[in-house]
């Protein structure tokens, strides 16, 4: 069953919070509205992973600002899974723009219009679907890579570089038959059927910030 995407709305202005909640629900979105950062974070911490949806955060709130809440979301590993949109008053725009450098998707200046906010929410939900898929793949690849023995990792890296079995055997000071066995196990464990596919998986791991080295 596909998990329901939720709009996690956080604004300490009850009027804004209620009107945005009503607007989103009118357009068929699931909404989880919160009056403060700590309240939102507490709700997120109580949820089973993965958290599905996007965050719409007011920039200026007490006791935690929108950017502070964003930092806490990133610390929980949600920065690459769940897009964030900031709601900002005119004077908050520089703060909102600065948040974009830390991964926020966009910001909407108050007073927002339906024609401005709703397309951004739809864009964020579509992007969230992509990010969640990428995160699942990264987790799977990390698990598969972790299942390799140190020697299998060494062989995998050399195979991904396009080196022949006899060359790998010479570099690792093992028999060519040993390399063949390790190569077969690497392909089986990583779920690939070619050196090119293995190279792609290793490149994807590195792109996720996972350290891949010859020492395993």
DSSP 131-168: HHHHHHHHHHHHHHHHTS-HHHHHHHHHHHTT--HHHH
Select the CATH number that applies to the domain covering 147-207 from these four: 1.20.1300.10, 3.40.50.300, 1.10.579.10, 1.10.10.10.
1.10.10.10
pLDDT of res. 158: 97
pLDDT of res. 173: 97
pLDDT of res. 1: 42
pLDDT of res. 215: 53
| Domain definitions of the chain by residue range | 6-135, 147-207
Residues in the chain where the model's pLDDT stays below 70: 1-2, 113, 213-216
The domain made up of 6-135 has a fold known as: Rossmann fold (3.40.50)
Q: What does residue 57 show for φ and ψ, rounded to 5 degrees?
A: -120, 135
pLDDT of res. 61: 93
């Amino acid at each position: 069953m596909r998990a329901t995407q939720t709009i996690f709305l956080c604004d300490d202005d009850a009027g804004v919070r209620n009107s945005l909640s009503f607007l989103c629900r009118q357009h068929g979105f699931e909404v989880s509205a919160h009056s403060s950062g700590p309240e939102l974070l507490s709700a997120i911490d109580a949820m089973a992973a993965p958290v599905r949806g996007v965050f719409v955060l007011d920039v200026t709130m007490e006791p935690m600002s929108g950017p502070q809440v964003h930092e806490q979301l990133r610390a929980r590993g949600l920065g690459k899974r769940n897009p964030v949109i900031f709601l900002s008053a005119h004077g908050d725009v520089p703060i909102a723009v600065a948040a974009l450098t830390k991964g926020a998707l966009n910001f909407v200046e108050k007073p927002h219009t339906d024609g401005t906010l709703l397309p951004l929410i739809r864009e964020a939900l579509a992007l969230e679907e992509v990010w969640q898929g990428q995160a699942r793949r990264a987790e799977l690849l990390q698990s598969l890579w972790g299942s390799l023995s140190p020697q299998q990792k060494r062989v995998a890296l050399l195979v991904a570089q396009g080196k022949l079995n006899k060359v790998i055997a010479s570099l690792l000071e093992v028999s060519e038959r040993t390399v063949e066995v390790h190569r077969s196990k690497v392909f089986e464990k990583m779920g690939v059927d070619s050196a090119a596919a293995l190279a792609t998986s290793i490149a994807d791991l590195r792109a996720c910030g996972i350290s891949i080295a010859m020492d395993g």
